[in-house]
Structure 1
Amino acid sequence: MDTLTEPFHPGDHVADDAELLELATFLAGGVAARRRCLTLTWLDADDRLLGLVMPVSDLPVAPEPSTLPGLGGLMGAVLAENAPGGSVVAVLERPGDPAINAGDRAWNAALRAQDDARVRGVFVAAGGAVRPLTLDDAYDAGDAPDAP
Protein backbone atom coordinates (compact mmCIF):
# COMPACT_ATOMS: atom_id res chain seq x y z
CA MET A 1 0.00 0.00 0.00
CA ASP A 2 1.14 3.52 -0.73
CA THR A 3 0.75 6.43 1.64
CA LEU A 4 -0.65 9.82 0.75
CA THR A 5 1.55 12.85 0.34
CA GLU A 6 0.61 16.53 -0.07
CA PRO A 7 -1.88 18.13 -0.16
CA PHE A 8 -3.53 15.52 2.07
CA HIS A 9 -1.88 14.02 5.13
CA PRO A 10 -2.86 11.17 7.43
CA GLY A 11 -5.15 12.59 10.08
CA ASP A 12 -6.55 15.36 7.86
CA HIS A 13 -10.27 15.88 8.36
CA VAL A 14 -12.39 15.47 5.23
CA ALA A 15 -15.25 17.62 6.39
CA ASP A 16 -17.68 17.81 3.47
CA ASP A 17 -18.46 16.79 -0.10
CA ALA A 18 -16.22 19.51 -1.56
CA GLU A 19 -13.21 18.21 0.38
CA LEU A 20 -14.13 14.65 -0.56
CA LEU A 21 -14.05 15.68 -4.25
CA GLU A 22 -10.65 17.35 -3.67
CA LEU A 23 -9.38 14.10 -2.13
CA ALA A 24 -10.69 12.06 -5.09
CA THR A 25 -9.06 14.49 -7.54
CA PHE A 26 -5.78 14.19 -5.64
CA LEU A 27 -5.98 10.39 -5.71
CA ALA A 28 -6.69 10.40 -9.46
CA GLY A 29 -3.52 12.37 -10.19
CA GLY A 30 -3.60 13.68 -13.74
CA VAL A 31 -7.01 12.09 -14.49
CA ALA A 32 -5.72 11.01 -17.90
CA ALA A 33 -6.01 7.30 -17.25
CA ARG A 34 -4.72 4.91 -19.89
CA ARG A 35 -6.09 1.84 -18.14
CA ARG A 36 -8.81 1.02 -15.67
CA CYS A 37 -7.84 1.26 -11.99
CA LEU A 38 -9.78 1.44 -8.75
CA THR A 39 -8.05 3.43 -6.01
CA LEU A 40 -9.27 2.93 -2.46
CA THR A 41 -8.54 4.99 0.63
CA TRP A 42 -10.05 4.98 4.10
CA LEU A 43 -11.38 7.49 6.63
CA ASP A 44 -11.82 6.85 10.34
CA ALA A 45 -15.10 7.28 12.22
CA ASP A 46 -14.38 11.02 12.56
CA ASP A 47 -13.77 11.37 8.78
CA ARG A 48 -10.01 11.68 9.25
CA LEU A 49 -7.77 10.28 6.54
CA LEU A 50 -5.92 7.10 7.50
CA GLY A 51 -3.23 7.68 4.87
CA LEU A 52 -3.58 4.24 3.30
CA VAL A 53 -4.05 4.04 -0.45
CA MET A 54 -4.61 0.85 -2.42
CA PRO A 55 -4.73 0.83 -6.22
CA VAL A 56 -6.42 -2.17 -7.85
CA SER A 57 -5.33 -2.41 -11.49
CA ASP A 58 -6.65 -4.08 -14.62
CA LEU A 59 -10.33 -3.82 -13.77
CA PRO A 60 -13.01 -5.19 -16.04
CA VAL A 61 -15.62 -2.76 -17.40
CA ALA A 62 -18.12 -4.11 -14.87
CA PRO A 63 -17.33 -5.89 -11.59
CA GLU A 64 -17.20 -9.67 -11.70
CA PRO A 65 -19.42 -11.20 -9.02
CA SER A 66 -16.74 -13.73 -8.06
CA THR A 67 -14.28 -10.99 -7.04
CA LEU A 68 -16.66 -8.80 -5.05
CA PRO A 69 -16.59 -10.75 -1.78
CA GLY A 70 -12.78 -10.47 -1.70
CA LEU A 71 -12.87 -6.76 -2.46
CA GLY A 72 -15.56 -6.15 0.17
CA GLY A 73 -13.63 -8.25 2.66
CA LEU A 74 -10.47 -6.24 2.03
CA MET A 75 -12.29 -2.92 2.44
CA GLY A 76 -13.84 -4.13 5.68
CA ALA A 77 -10.67 -5.69 7.07
CA VAL A 78 -8.74 -2.43 6.76
CA LEU A 79 -11.54 -0.65 8.62
CA ALA A 80 -11.85 -3.32 11.31
CA GLU A 81 -8.11 -3.25 11.99
CA ASN A 82 -7.41 0.47 11.60
CA ALA A 83 -10.62 2.48 11.87
CA PRO A 84 -13.72 0.75 13.27
CA GLY A 85 -16.77 2.77 12.26
CA GLY A 86 -14.89 4.40 9.40
CA SER A 87 -15.55 4.42 5.69
CA VAL A 88 -14.03 3.86 2.25
CA VAL A 89 -13.53 6.32 -0.60
CA ALA A 90 -13.18 4.80 -4.08
CA VAL A 91 -11.95 6.41 -7.29
CA LEU A 92 -12.55 4.54 -10.55
CA GLU A 93 -10.02 5.75 -13.11
CA ARG A 94 -10.66 4.85 -16.74
CA PRO A 95 -9.83 6.07 -20.22
CA GLY A 96 -12.48 7.68 -22.35
CA ASP A 97 -15.25 10.19 -22.11
CA PRO A 98 -16.02 11.74 -18.71
CA ALA A 99 -19.75 10.96 -19.04
CA ILE A 100 -20.99 8.40 -16.53
CA ASN A 101 -21.61 5.08 -18.27
CA ALA A 102 -23.16 1.72 -17.42
CA GLY A 103 -19.85 0.25 -16.24
CA ASP A 104 -19.37 3.16 -13.83
CA ARG A 105 -22.87 2.66 -12.46
CA ALA A 106 -22.22 -1.08 -12.04
CA TRP A 107 -19.03 -0.41 -10.02
CA ASN A 108 -20.86 2.20 -7.95
CA ALA A 109 -23.66 -0.22 -7.12
CA ALA A 110 -21.28 -3.10 -6.39
CA LEU A 111 -19.04 -1.07 -4.08
CA ARG A 112 -21.98 0.38 -2.18
CA ALA A 113 -23.56 -3.08 -1.81
CA GLN A 114 -20.63 -4.52 0.16
CA ASP A 115 -21.68 -5.42 3.69
CA ASP A 116 -18.16 -5.28 5.10
CA ALA A 117 -17.57 -1.55 4.68
CA ARG A 118 -19.45 1.74 4.62
CA VAL A 119 -18.71 3.70 1.45
CA ARG A 120 -18.35 7.45 1.95
CA GLY A 121 -17.90 8.26 -1.74
CA VAL A 122 -17.38 6.77 -5.20
CA PHE A 123 -15.86 8.87 -7.98
CA VAL A 124 -15.02 8.45 -11.67
CA ALA A 125 -11.87 10.00 -13.12
CA ALA A 126 -12.01 10.08 -16.92
CA GLY A 127 -11.55 12.50 -19.77
CA GLY A 128 -9.70 15.02 -17.60
CA ALA A 129 -12.44 15.30 -14.99
CA VAL A 130 -13.34 13.74 -11.64
CA ARG A 131 -17.04 13.29 -10.97
CA PRO A 132 -18.88 11.92 -7.95
CA LEU A 133 -21.20 8.96 -8.37
CA THR A 134 -24.27 9.31 -6.19
CA LEU A 135 -26.74 6.72 -4.96
CA ASP A 136 -28.95 7.80 -7.86
CA ASP A 137 -26.14 6.82 -10.26
CA ALA A 138 -26.14 3.25 -8.92
CA TYR A 139 -28.35 0.58 -10.35
CA ASP A 140 -28.88 -3.12 -9.87
CA ALA A 141 -25.42 -4.68 -10.27
CA GLY A 142 -27.13 -7.57 -12.05
CA ASP A 143 -27.80 -5.29 -15.02
CA ALA A 144 -25.09 -5.72 -17.63
CA PRO A 145 -23.41 -2.58 -18.94
CA ASP A 146 -23.60 -2.05 -22.68
CA ALA A 147 -20.33 -0.24 -23.25
CA PRO A 148 -16.97 0.41 -21.57
Structure 2
Amino acid sequence: MTTHTASFRPGDPVTSDDDVLHLARMLAGDALPRERVLLLTWLDADDRLLGIAVPIQGVPVTPDDDVAPGLGLLLRSVGEETAPGGALVAVLERPGTDDITASDRAWNALVRGQASAAGVRVRGVFVAAGGTVRPLALDDAT
Protein backbone atom coordinates (compact mmCIF):
# COMPACT_ATOMS: atom_id res chain seq x y z
CA MET A 1 0.00 0.00 0.00
CA THR A 2 1.23 3.44 -0.92
CA THR A 3 1.44 6.04 1.84
CA HIS A 4 0.97 9.60 0.63
CA THR A 5 2.38 12.50 2.58
CA ALA A 6 2.36 15.20 -0.11
CA SER A 7 0.16 16.44 -2.90
CA PHE A 8 0.54 15.31 -6.47
CA ARG A 9 2.29 17.58 -8.94
CA PRO A 10 2.16 17.52 -12.73
CA GLY A 11 4.28 14.65 -13.99
CA ASP A 12 3.85 12.54 -10.86
CA PRO A 13 2.83 8.91 -11.46
CA VAL A 14 -0.70 7.95 -10.45
CA THR A 15 -0.47 4.22 -11.00
CA SER A 16 -2.28 2.35 -8.22
CA ASP A 17 -5.91 2.49 -7.11
CA ASP A 18 -4.64 4.01 -3.84
CA ASP A 19 -2.89 6.74 -5.85
CA VAL A 20 -6.09 7.53 -7.76
CA LEU A 21 -8.10 7.72 -4.51
CA HIS A 22 -5.45 10.00 -2.97
CA LEU A 23 -5.60 12.24 -6.05
CA ALA A 24 -9.40 12.43 -5.78
CA ARG A 25 -9.11 13.31 -2.08
CA MET A 26 -6.55 16.00 -2.86
CA LEU A 27 -8.80 17.50 -5.53
CA ALA A 28 -11.86 17.44 -3.25
CA GLY A 29 -10.17 19.17 -0.32
CA ASP A 30 -12.30 18.88 2.81
CA ALA A 31 -15.11 17.11 0.87
CA LEU A 32 -17.74 19.40 2.37
CA PRO A 33 -18.84 21.23 -0.77
CA ARG A 34 -21.57 23.87 -0.72
CA GLU A 35 -22.45 23.49 -4.39
CA ARG A 36 -22.45 20.80 -7.05
CA VAL A 37 -19.24 20.69 -9.10
CA LEU A 38 -17.95 18.05 -11.49
CA LEU A 39 -14.16 18.23 -11.35
CA LEU A 40 -12.22 16.55 -14.15
CA THR A 41 -8.50 15.89 -14.36
CA TRP A 42 -6.40 13.86 -16.74
CA LEU A 43 -3.45 11.48 -16.69
CA ASP A 44 -1.18 10.93 -19.67
CA ALA A 45 -0.74 7.60 -21.47
CA ASP A 46 1.81 6.56 -18.80
CA ASP A 47 -0.60 7.46 -15.95
CA ARG A 48 1.26 10.62 -14.97
CA LEU A 49 -0.71 13.63 -13.78
CA LEU A 50 -1.01 16.25 -16.51
CA GLY A 51 -1.87 19.15 -14.24
CA ILE A 52 -5.13 19.98 -16.00
CA ALA A 53 -8.18 20.37 -13.77
CA VAL A 54 -11.52 21.50 -15.17
CA PRO A 55 -14.25 22.34 -12.66
CA ILE A 56 -17.76 22.35 -14.11
CA GLN A 57 -19.76 24.35 -11.60
CA GLY A 58 -23.48 24.23 -10.95
CA VAL A 59 -24.11 20.81 -12.45
CA PRO A 60 -27.70 19.63 -12.03
CA VAL A 61 -28.66 17.08 -9.40
CA THR A 62 -29.36 14.55 -12.13
CA PRO A 63 -27.68 14.88 -15.52
CA ASP A 64 -30.07 15.78 -18.31
CA ASP A 65 -29.88 15.51 -22.09
CA ASP A 66 -28.30 18.96 -22.32
CA VAL A 67 -25.23 17.91 -20.31
CA ALA A 68 -24.03 14.89 -22.30
CA PRO A 69 -23.02 16.57 -25.59
CA GLY A 70 -20.93 19.27 -23.90
CA LEU A 71 -19.23 16.79 -21.61
CA GLY A 72 -18.52 14.47 -24.52
CA LEU A 73 -17.01 17.31 -26.55
CA LEU A 74 -14.81 18.39 -23.63
CA LEU A 75 -13.57 14.84 -23.00
CA ARG A 76 -12.88 14.25 -26.68
CA SER A 77 -11.07 17.59 -27.12
CA VAL A 78 -8.78 17.18 -24.12
CA GLY A 79 -8.26 13.50 -24.91
CA GLU A 80 -7.19 14.17 -28.48
CA GLU A 81 -5.24 17.41 -28.02
CA THR A 82 -3.61 17.12 -24.61
CA ALA A 83 -3.92 13.56 -23.34
CA PRO A 84 -3.87 11.10 -26.26
CA GLY A 85 -4.00 7.61 -24.79
CA GLY A 86 -4.52 9.15 -21.37
CA ALA A 87 -7.13 8.65 -18.70
CA LEU A 88 -9.76 10.63 -16.83
CA VAL A 89 -10.31 11.03 -13.09
CA ALA A 90 -13.66 12.63 -12.22
CA VAL A 91 -14.87 13.88 -8.83
CA LEU A 92 -18.51 14.84 -8.31
CA GLU A 93 -18.55 17.27 -5.39
CA ARG A 94 -21.96 17.80 -3.82
CA PRO A 95 -23.54 18.90 -0.54
CA GLY A 96 -25.14 16.28 1.67
CA THR A 97 -24.23 12.98 3.23
CA ASP A 98 -21.64 10.55 1.96
CA ASP A 99 -24.34 8.02 1.00
CA ILE A 100 -24.20 7.04 -2.68
CA THR A 101 -27.40 8.26 -4.33
CA ALA A 102 -29.28 7.48 -7.54
CA SER A 103 -28.08 10.87 -8.79
CA ASP A 104 -24.45 9.89 -8.12
CA ARG A 105 -25.00 6.68 -10.08
CA ALA A 106 -26.51 8.66 -12.97
CA TRP A 107 -23.46 10.96 -13.08
CA ASN A 108 -21.16 7.93 -12.93
CA ALA A 109 -22.98 6.38 -15.90
CA LEU A 110 -22.89 9.65 -17.86
CA VAL A 111 -19.18 10.30 -17.26
CA ARG A 112 -18.21 6.72 -18.11
CA GLY A 113 -20.47 6.62 -21.17
CA GLN A 114 -19.22 9.92 -22.57
CA ALA A 115 -15.60 8.96 -21.87
CA SER A 116 -16.08 5.65 -23.67
CA ALA A 117 -17.67 7.40 -26.65
CA ALA A 118 -14.75 9.86 -26.71
CA GLY A 119 -12.16 7.06 -26.53
CA VAL A 120 -10.90 8.18 -23.10
CA ARG A 121 -9.97 5.66 -20.41
CA VAL A 122 -11.52 6.21 -16.99
CA ARG A 123 -9.19 5.66 -14.02
CA GLY A 124 -11.82 6.61 -11.47
CA VAL A 125 -15.08 8.37 -10.74
CA PHE A 126 -15.62 9.60 -7.18
CA VAL A 127 -18.20 11.37 -5.03
CA ALA A 128 -17.00 13.97 -2.52
CA ALA A 129 -19.66 14.66 0.12
CA GLY A 130 -20.23 14.50 3.84
CA GLY A 131 -16.53 14.92 4.60
CA THR A 132 -15.34 11.90 2.63
CA VAL A 133 -14.46 10.83 -0.91
CA ARG A 134 -15.94 7.56 -2.14
CA PRO A 135 -15.21 5.71 -5.36
CA LEU A 136 -18.03 4.85 -7.74
CA ALA A 137 -17.43 1.46 -9.31
CA LEU A 138 -18.32 0.54 -12.87
CA ASP A 139 -21.29 -1.47 -11.60
CA ASP A 140 -22.53 1.66 -9.76
CA ALA A 141 -23.11 3.20 -13.20
CA THR A 142 -26.76 2.21 -13.53
| TM-score (normalised: structure 2) | 0.91
Structure 1 CA distance for aligned equivalents of residues 65 and 137 of structure 2? 21
For residue 73 of structure 2, what is the aligned residue in structure 1? 73
Structure 2 CA distance for aligned equivalents of residues 119 and 66 of structure 1? 22
Partner SS, residue 109 of structure 1: helix
Query: Of the candidates 128, 132, 135, which is equivalent to residue 125 of structure 1?
Result: 128
- Unaligned 5+ residue runs, structure 1? 1-5, 140-148
Query: Equivalences for 1:1-148 in 2 at 5 Å?
Result: 7-114=7-114, 115-116=117-118, 117-139=120-142
Structure 2 CA distance for aligned equivalents of residues 73 and 42 of structure 1? 15
Partner SS, residue 19 of structure 2: helix
Structure 2 CA distance for aligned equivalents of residues 17 and 109 of structure 1? 20
| TM-score (normalised: structure 1) | 0.88
> C-alpha deviations, 1:93-135, integer Å up to 9, x for none?
0010101000000000011001112221100000000000001
Structure 2 CA distance for aligned equivalents of residues 93 and 70 of structure 1? 19
Structure 2 CA distance for aligned equivalents of residues 23 and 72 of structure 1? 23
Partner SS, residue 95 of structure 2: coil
Corresponding pairs, count: 134
> C-alpha deviations, 1:25-64, integer Å up to 9, x for none?
0000111101100100000111011000010000111111
Judge which range, 100-109 or 71-80, deviates more: 71-80
More helix by share: 2
Q: Percent identity?
A: 59
Partner SS, residue 31 of structure 1: coil
For residue 146 of structure 1, what is the aligned residue in structure 2? none
Structure 1 CA distance for aligned equivalents of residues 87 and 64 of structure 2? 22
Partner SS, residue 103 of structure 2: helix
